[in-house]
Amino acid sequence: MRIAIGADHAGFRLKERLKRELQAMGHEVSDAGTTSEAPVDYPDYVFPVAEKVAHHEADRGVVVCGSGVGASIAANKVHGIRAGLVTDADSARLTREHNDTNVLALGSRCVPSDDDAVAWMKTWLETPFAGERHARRVNKIEDYERQHAREESR
């Protein structure tokens, strides 16, 4: 699987760990940065990840900031992205199973440990979308997004 990954300074260390784990699992990883713990702005690294997923240059994306909230908000501004902030094993499974998320957001300052974050990411990657009634709901979100994109372009 092709996975784009990016983080701000608060998420840099965890991003590096997740990147190594993804590569060890055999995934092709595209790193949008950042490259150190020097202060930066998370949108500068989240938008490129989300755009790669939206443009089908990556199958999924992983974004990390201090809380995960800013990264998830920024990713969800990109048309076609359904980013989910994962805070435990259940949310890792449910964001994929019920919401068909294509971007995983994590908060480096909020995960109990890097090992937990790795386990949640693996769960997220391995969980299929359940479809059925959940597909109806995701389709409503996509329909809304398309409709409002047309209205904004007028």
- Mean of the per-residue pLDDT values for the chain? 96
pLDDT of res. 152 = 73
Q: In which domain, by residue range, is 114 found?
A: 2-153
Do 105 and 124 form a contact (C-beta atoms < 8 A)? no
Closest CA to 52 of 78, 74, 70: 78
pLDDT of res. 102 = 98
Higher pLDDT, 154 or 87: 87
pLDDT one-digit tens code per residue, 116-126: 999 999 999 99
Q: Could you give the number of structural domains in the chain?
A: 1
Q: Are strands 2-7 and 103-107 parallel, antiparallel or unpaired?
A: unpaired
Percent over 90 (pLDDT), the chain: 94
pLDDT of res. 150 = 74
Mean pLDDT, residues 135-142? 95
Burial 116-149 (b: 16+ CB within 10 A, else e): ebbebbebbbebeeeeeeeeeebeeeeeeeeeee
Q: Is the pLDDT of residue 148 over 90?
A: no
Q: Is the pLDDT of residue 12 over 90?
A: yes
CATH number assigned to the domain comprising residue 31: 3.40.1400.10
What pTM, to 2 d.p., does this model score?
0.96
Do 117 and 85 form a contact (C-beta atoms < 8 A)? no
pLDDT one-digit tens code per residue, 50-107: 999 999 999 999 999 999 999 999 999 999 999 999 999 999 999 999 999 999 999 9
Do 37 and 91 form a contact (C-beta atoms < 8 A)? no
Give the pLDDT band (50/70/90) at residue 149: confident
Reduce the DSSP state of residue 63 to 3 states and report it: strand
pLDDT of res. 84 = 98
Q: Is the pLDDT of residue 11 over 90?
A: yes
Q: Is the pLDDT of residue 140 over 80?
A: yes
Question: Which active-site residues does the annotation give?
Answer: 65, 98
